[in-house]
């Protein structure tokens, strides 16, 4: 079984890749619904706008349910929590695929969101601990890479399958893949003891760390900035840049590739220069979005800037996530869940304000202006964080130690006592 811990150099532990596969599935289910709404609305006998509640419910489930599930499963072995989350995820999709009731499908989406929140919260902790302090940001980048890869590959494939087999096809596929992912987690995630030493009080005490809230604030603002623009990017591309509607999916794939590249860059640079990386990327995101306002009349410029927006914006995410978990010290689970909730809060708030800007006199360029302001505001918590410093005591990793490693330690102690 692969070790749960990693050295300061070399490849990341395989468990990080396994966790990234889980985030790929969960990213796919969160965003694939947008491409299936007309079919789902017709089949479930509701309006398209009413079917949109399936997206809203998932986001709310992530915001509220992530921290709740993190606390509810706090004393369980983390391996069991991951397997349970994937099992519930698979079951939720199977129930939705079998149902003809919109209410049942909506409920299944909320339950699925709760499972997703639990997986993210525990997965981040395992990934950063397995990689070690010197590579924690890179590990987070790989995990979040599963989410961005979902936008590049998972969502287009899911939409394609849904259009040819009906919306239930992607739901069944996600259920089967989640069951397989649960088997992989059971095989490759190290066994751990029941976490009796972990307390809810300790997790809550970690929230007193001021630097933690600065990192969470940056997560909310940068995600709000990028998604404010992305949510309404289609009318900007078609009505202002003159790009044919049939070519918009290609631009969205370019956005996904940029997001994947940004996540990889942040993961690589964040461990060495976290504040330089995040401040530079946030400033670049704001400038790119400002440039998009006048340049969106040109299709070429619009595509390049959309790619650049994703590349710069998503560079910030793995760094602030890793910093938040680091600042939590030995109580990182609730913080990890709050980080995930923070990203979803950014998505909800950014898209809400951008929608109002779209309907105002600002018109099609309104969302880009909102995004630029959000990204610029990200600099405030980041600069404050840079002034306060980012160092923190290393977390205790004993709870992630494999059985083989514990036996080695016991043998060493026995030999020392004998001498």
Residue 154 vs residue 96, higher pLDDT: 96
* pLDDT tens-digit readout, 144-185: 888 888 878 888 888 888 878 899 999 999 999 999 999 988
Q: What is the dihedral of CA 331, 333, 334, 340, to 10 degrees?
A: 140
For the chain, give percent helix, strand, coil, nearest 5.
80, 0, 20
What does pLDDT average to over the chain?
Answer: 83
Tell which phi-psi region holds residue 71, choosing left (phi > 0), alpha (psi between -120 and 50) or beta.
Answer: alpha
Q: How many CA atoms within 13 Å lie on the side-chain side of 214?
A: 21
Residue 236 has pLDDT above 50, yes or no: yes
For residue 186, what pLDDT is reported? 85
* CATH code 1.20.1250.20 region(s) in the chain: 13-191, 202-390
For residue 331, what pLDDT is reported? 65
Q: Kindly report the CATH number that applies to the domain delimited by 202-390.
A: 1.20.1250.20
For residue 3, what pLDDT is reported? 45
pLDDT confidence band for 199 (50 / 70 / 90): low
Is domain 13-191 given the CATH code 1.20.1250.20 in the classification? yes
């Amino acid at each position: 079984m692969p070790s749960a811990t990693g050295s300061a150099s070399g490849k990341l532990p395989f468990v990080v890749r396994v966790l990234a596969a889980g985030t790929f599935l969960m990213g796919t289910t969160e965003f694939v619904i947008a491409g299936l709404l007309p079919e789902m609305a017709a089949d479930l006998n509701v309006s398209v706008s009413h079917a949109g509640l399936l997206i809203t419910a998932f986001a709310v489930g992530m915001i509220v349910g992530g921290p709740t599930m993190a606390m509810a499963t706090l004393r369980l072995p983390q391996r069991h929590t991951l397997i349970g989350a994937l099992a519930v995820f698979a079951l939720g999709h199977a129930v939705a695929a079998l149902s003809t009731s919109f209410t049942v499908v909506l409920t299944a989406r909320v339950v699925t969101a709760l499972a997703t929140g639990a997986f993210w919260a525990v997965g981040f902790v395992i990934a950063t601990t397995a990689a070690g302090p010197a590579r924690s940001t890179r590990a987070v980048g790989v995990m979040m890479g599963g989410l961005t890869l979902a936008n590049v590959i998972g969502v287009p494939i899911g939409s394609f399958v849904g259009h040819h087999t009906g919306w239930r096809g992607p739901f069944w596929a996600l259920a089967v893949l989640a069951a397989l992912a649960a088997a992989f987690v059971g095989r490759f995630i190290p066994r751990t003891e029941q976490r009796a030493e972990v307390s809810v009080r300790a997790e809550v005490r970690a929230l007193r760390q001021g630097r933690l809230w600065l990192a969470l604030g940056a997560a909310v603002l940068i995600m709000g900035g990028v998604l404010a623009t992305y949510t309404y990017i289609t009318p900007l591309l078609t009505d202002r840049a003159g790009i044919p509607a049939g070519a918009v999916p290609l631009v969205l794939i370019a956005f996904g590739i940029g997001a994947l590249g940004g996540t990889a860059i942040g993961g690589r640079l964040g461990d060495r220069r976290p504040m330089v990386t995040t401040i530079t990327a946030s400033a670049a995101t704001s400038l790119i979005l400002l440039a998009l306002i006048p340049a969106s009349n040109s299709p070429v410029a619009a595509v390049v800037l959309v790619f650049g927006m994703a590349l710069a914006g998503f560079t910030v995410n793995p760094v602030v996530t890793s910093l938040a978990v680091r600042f939590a010290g030995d109580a990182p689970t609730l913080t990890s869940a709050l980080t995930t909730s923070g990203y979803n809060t950014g998505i909800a708030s950014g898209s809400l304000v951008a929608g109002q800007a779209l309907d105002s006199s600002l018109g099609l360029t309104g969302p880009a202006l909102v995004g630029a302001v959000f990204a610029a505001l990200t600099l405030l918590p980041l600069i404050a964080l840079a002034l306060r410093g980012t160092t923190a005591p290393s977390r205790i990793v004993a709870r992630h130690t494999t059985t083989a490693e514990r036996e080695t330690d016991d043998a060493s102690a026995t030999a020392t006592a004998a001498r």
